[in-house]
């Protein structure tokens, strides 16, 4: 078991104001794998004070210097990538090969994309030839509170902390108490890369504690949160009293429209994409809508693929899925599986209980329900586990209606060989993202949704500008060199 770790505040590891410990549980074994300290108001106040004190100098640091310091984080990552991936695997259950290939690599992927986009920011912009001397200056918002989840932990840290620091903001990170170890390694990367004291701070804690303290703190100008829609509502209410900017990236219930002319690999890649990360992705294609003429054969193929997916411990190499993160999550998924059966969906494979060969660990059978009707609980609510619902449709109009009939709007998917239809559907589906025919989003594309999926836009230039404010200036002399540029 890893020894207890404290908080990273003002460039140093410090002890908590009060001793309150939490065991981090390895979901593969149900055994503690680390002990962390949980913060209270005094710890949050200290971290915010450090960030506030560091803000003026960091905001005034030339952008090129900020970029060079942030890029140095990647050197630390490269030297410790194996350790980084092992921490993610142990604390949240991602199989080690997947942690190395997909989870840990989110840090260099997003950082490099942000650094590229950062080169194109115009810090002081002419308003236009119609308004001589009118300028728009883009300036950092100030101290930002970052609250990140456990399912793709470093992905969300990279999507928040990297652009915030590049923009000139100072940060206080509260990572999920389920997966704090990778966040503490990230703090070490920042320290060893020479990020100035107070620019990046970390306080471990839970949502009702440190999360609420950051959301209500008068010296925090912005909260960037990724997590459940329920928690997003609570954060919005808490932040309203101090009129913070709030960026929310929340849940999803993605529809994946499979037409008769889809390519031969569409079903397999769709099922594997759903089961990836044990279904614990907000943008998972958890509703497969299938054209009636190919419905039966699609269900058969989907079941064949799901039954070929192995389940195993996170530290075991190989192409399998691991456990879900904790007992509460396991119980919730089991409840949804039972609900699907009770409401009359056809259990095509998988089902309740532990997979064969397991008597401990939070493992879930890759599960498929067929003949799911619109409006069923498993069709409407985010399950956040390896459970796929398959729904037939008669024509394109019905597919669009079913796909859009959800409170969520994060990612939708289209599988069709007709490029005209693909383009048409990409504009008609109500979501922040649409991925078609297995093509991933482009480097630097924004990640975010609409409706109850929140309206954050994380990634690329959009992710950087979320941490900037526009200042209108009149009488600006553009013939002079601006020291901020």
Q: How far apart are CA 340 and CA 430, in angstroms?
A: 25
Cβ partners under 8 Å of residue 255, min gap 6: 285, 287, 289, 402, 403, 406, 412, 413, 429
Strand ranges for 207-360 from DSSP E? 222-226, 245-249, 255-258, 287-291, 310-311, 320-321, 346-349
First to last CA, the chain: 48
- DSSP class of residue 274 equals H
Active site residue 307: no
Torsion over CA: 277, 282, 285, 289 (sign) = positive
Q: Would you tell me how many other CB atoms lie within 10 Å of the CB of residue 82?
A: 12
Strand ranges for 193-244 from DSSP E? 200-202, 222-226
The answer to whether 209 and 40 have CB atoms below 8 angstroms apart is: yes
The answer to whether 145 and 226 have CB atoms below 8 angstroms apart is: no
Which residue in 106, 169, 190, 282 is the catalytic one? 282
Q: What φ, ψ does residue 255 adopt, rounded to 5°?
A: -95, 140
Active site residue 122: no
Rounded to a whole number, what is the largest CA-CA distance in the chain? 74
Which residue in 86, 177, 221, 249 is the catalytic one? 249
Active site positions, annotated:
249, 282
């Amino acid at each position: 078991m890893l020894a207890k770790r404290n908080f990273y505040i003002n460039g140093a590891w410090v002890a908590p104001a009060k001793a309150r410990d939490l065991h981090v549980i390895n979901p593969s074994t149900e055994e503690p794998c680390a002990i962390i300290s949980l913060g209270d108001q005094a710890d949050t106040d200290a971290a915010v004070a450090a960030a506030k004190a560091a803000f003026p100098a960091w905001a005034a640091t030339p952008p090129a210097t900020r970029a060079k310091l942030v890029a140095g984080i990647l050197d630390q990552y490269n030297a410790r990538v194996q350790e980084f991936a092992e921490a993610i695997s142990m604390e949240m259950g991602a199989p080690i090969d997947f942690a190395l290939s997909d989870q840990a690599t989110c840090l260099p992927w997003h950082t490099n994309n942000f650094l590229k986009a950062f080169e194109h920011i115009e810090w002081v912009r002419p308003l236009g030839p119609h308004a001589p001397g009118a300028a728009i200056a883009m300036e950092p918002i100030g101290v930002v509170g970052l609250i990140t989840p456990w399912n793709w932990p470093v992905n969300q840290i990279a999507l928040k902390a990297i652009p915030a620091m590049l923009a000139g903001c100072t940060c206080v990170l509260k990572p999920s108490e389920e997966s704090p170890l990778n966040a503490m390694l990230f703090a070490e990367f920042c320290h060893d890369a020479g990020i100035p004291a107070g620019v990046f701070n970390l306080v471990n804690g839970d949502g009702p504690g440190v999360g609420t303290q950051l959301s209500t703190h008068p010296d925090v100008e912005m909260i960037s949160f990724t997590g459940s829609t329920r928690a997003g509502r609570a954060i919005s209410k808490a932040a309203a009293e101090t009129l913070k900017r709030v960026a929310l990236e929340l849940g999803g219930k993605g529809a994946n429209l499979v037409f008769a002319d889809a390519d031969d690999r569409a079903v397999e890649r769709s099922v594997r994409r759903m089961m990836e990360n044990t279904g614990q992705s907000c943008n998972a294609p958890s509703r497969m809508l299938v054209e009636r003429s190919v419905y039966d054969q699609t269900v058969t193929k989907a079941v064949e693929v799901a039954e070929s997916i192995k389940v195993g411990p996170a530290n075991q190499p190989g192409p399998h899925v691991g456990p879900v993160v904790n007992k509460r999550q396991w119980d919730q998924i089991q409840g949804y599986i039972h609900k699907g059966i009770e409401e009359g969906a056809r259990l095509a494979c998988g089902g309740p209980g532990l997979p064969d060969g397991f008597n401990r660990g939070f493992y879930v059978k890759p599960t498929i329900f067929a003949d799911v009707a619109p409006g069923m609980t498993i069709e409407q609510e985010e399950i956040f586990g390896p459970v796929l619902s398959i729904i037939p449709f008669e024509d394109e109009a019905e597919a669009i209606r079913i796909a859009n009939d959800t409170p969520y709007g994060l990612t939708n998917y289209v599988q069709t060989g007709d490029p005209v239809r693909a383009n048409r559907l990409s504009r008609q589906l109500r979501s922040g993202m649409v991925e078609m025919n297995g093509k991933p989003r482009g480097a630097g594309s924004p990640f975010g949704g609409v409706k109850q999926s929140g309206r954050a836009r994380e990634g690329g230039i959009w992710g950087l500008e979320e941490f900037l404010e526009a200042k209108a200036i009149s009488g600006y002399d553009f013939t002079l060199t601006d020291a901020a540029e």
